[in-house]
Chain A
């Protein structure tokens, strides 16, 4: 505003604009530092030796080493936990895409008795606090021997995304021009064919958004995993990290190495698909 509002009347106006711009960038950089602060220390901590850890207030490691990272990855079996996380996240995303693109197609395109009621039901689930659902889900799963398995994580996690996924995908499906469907039907395509060949390609950006909005929280999921996974062979990365804190005095260089292994994949994923993610969040709120 300063730039447009003050056409160089006096020489001071220009310096004032320059000053304002400097202040703006300084403030932005300031918050960038705040934003990155714990990550920077995560990286520095993971490069420290046990002896360096005696002075955790020093940012630069006195004897930088990648041994802690390498040991965490190999000997502490973070590679295995990484694969478990990948499996749980992948299956959850797949489940969400299959189950809720089908349902949302029905909500957004087809007409049937009870549509509005059913839709409202799903969306109302948003108001249920996760802690209210956690205990009954765990009890239900232990009754059916699902507790502690990856499937036992995936199913409730898929269900947990129902409100948002249905909301986003229904809006996307409803926005596809109806003429496409009519034309395909005229050509003799069945409902499944119309769904698969016409509608799914048309809503691909929304599908990517939903996949992102599912993948990120699932990768970081902690509360349900913590109370359901009990065998180390099934641990996901957040639980493996939690497990490191349980062993007596926390060795922060090892913890930070583990933490780095948890956050790096999700940061990479975010950077690659940022556009979809940002648009999706905005779409979720604006509808």
Chain B
């Protein structure tokens, strides 16, 4: 939910106070003013020091370490790294007969998630927010209920999904009870290679709809009511108003929602790790890039795959930055 904000509003939020504050010290001048400015700067450095130290240790140092490691082979225990230059990247991208195919199939799955999750989240959140906005009563209660999947997102809820999706679980029982027994999955929705990935995608969408709905809801409530009345006066019905007036006006929110979910789809793998395991069961059909990197880093025991894990992490980073830049350009061109 957070990516959109700094790229679009962060620098602006910073520019605001700076512009307002600049007038005060220049007007004063003299040595008293300078002393005051120096004291202010020293205070500022002291105030930011804890954040900077933490950032240096767990941000910069870690990133540098990871980048260095991506150019080496190491199993985490032997005393020395073996430098291999860009070999890890090339191995992952096309060269290695074991890892390259894994990465390629994980990349296809990740791409599928990146297309399906944002699309579905927008397709569900927008109508849901419109409905919620037109319902005066129960709005607060509904909002709470709709928000639970986001608040609780984590292993507990994913295990509950696993429970209802198992072969003789609730979803299959419900389908059979409704006479839709042909849709039931005897192996369980997560056990069938054809349904496993779509099923995890559905759970990811279920987790992401709350934030999307909330964003659309705020967008709807900030719309100028005159605009909607004008549309109604022009004879536009409910459907027409929403499609031709509301939807275009809320395009920035759609952009933010898509970006947030793209980012989550690219990097997130917790749902997969919990629901289908570290290997992307069944048979790697739910393997995604984040999971592959996690597996190379933590689940390969004594194999020297830490360099590969780092390299894959940096490849993901590169794609994330690319997406962010594309988003920034898209926002600029519409603004």
Contact = CB atoms under 8 A, between A and B. Distances in A.
B151 A266 contact: yes
Contact of A220 (B39, B50, B155): B155
A286 interface: yes
Contacts of A140: 57-58, 61-62, 65
B1 A39 contact: no
Interface residues of A, number: 112
Contacts of A162: 51, 54-55, 59
B170 A41 contact: yes
Interface in A117-168: 118-140, 155-156, 158-160, 162-164, 166-167
A285 interface: yes
A35 B266 CA distance: 24
B155 A274 contact: no
Given A110-B40, A127-B3, A282-B218, A32 B142 contact: yes
A37 B272 CA distance: 20
Interface residues of B, number: 115
Interface stretch (A56-64, A66-74, A200-208): A56-64
Contacts, number: 338
B173 interface: yes
B105 interface: no
Given A132-B316, A281-B211, A159 B1 contact: no
A133 B61 contact: no
B47 A259 contact: no
- 9 closest A-B pairs by beta carbon, nearest first, are A287-B9, A57-B173, A220-B154, A132-B313, A174-B17, A136-B62, A259-B156, A103-B51, A123-B6
16 contacts: A1-B237, A34-B206, A35-B148, A38-B160, A56-B168, A106-B44, A110-B47, A111-B21, A140-B65, A162-B54, A162-B55, A191-B40, A245-B159, A255-B159, A270-B148, A287-B12
Interface of B: 1-6, 8-14, 16-18, 20-22, 24-25, 37, 39-41, 43-45, 47-48, 50-52, 54-55, 57-59, 61-63, 65-66, 69, 76, 124, 128, 131-132, 134-135, 138, 142-149, 151-157, 159-161, 163-164, 166, 168-170, 172-174, 206, 210-211, 214-215, 218, 228-229, 232, 237-238, 241-242, 253, 256, 266-267, 269-270, 273-274, 290, 293-294, 297-298, 306, 309-310, 313-314, 316-317, 320-321, 324
